[in-house]
């Protein structure tokens, strides 16, 4: 009369796919690199246009 217990892989189908770990690592490194470059560019622009110089 009851329902069957759903398997955990039905809710998170990508959890069992550990063979593609480099996709997460590559995405993380690209995001970190972009943020670091944006911070350096912002600091350089702030120093270049600083009226206190």
As a whole-number percent, the residues of the chain with pLDDT over 90 amount to 45
pLDDT at 17: 60
For residue range 4-16, list pLDDT tens digits in order.
Answer: 666 666 666 665 5
Higher-confidence position of 30 and 12: 30
pLDDT at 21: 78
**Residue whose C-alpha is closest to residue 49's, from 41, 30, 15:** 41
DSSP-derived 3-state class of residue 42? helix
Mean pLDDT of 19-41: 92
pLDDT at 52: 82
Hey, CA dihedral for 24, 26, 32, 38, is it positive or negative?
Answer: negative
pLDDT at 23: 84
């Amino acid at each position: 009369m009851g329902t069957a217990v759903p398997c955990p892989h039905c809710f998170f189908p990508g959890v069992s796919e550990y063979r593609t770990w480099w996709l997460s690592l590559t995405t993380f490194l690209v995001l970190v690199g972009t943020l670091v470059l944006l911070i350096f560019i912002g600091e350089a622009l702030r120093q270049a246009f600083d009226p206190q110089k």
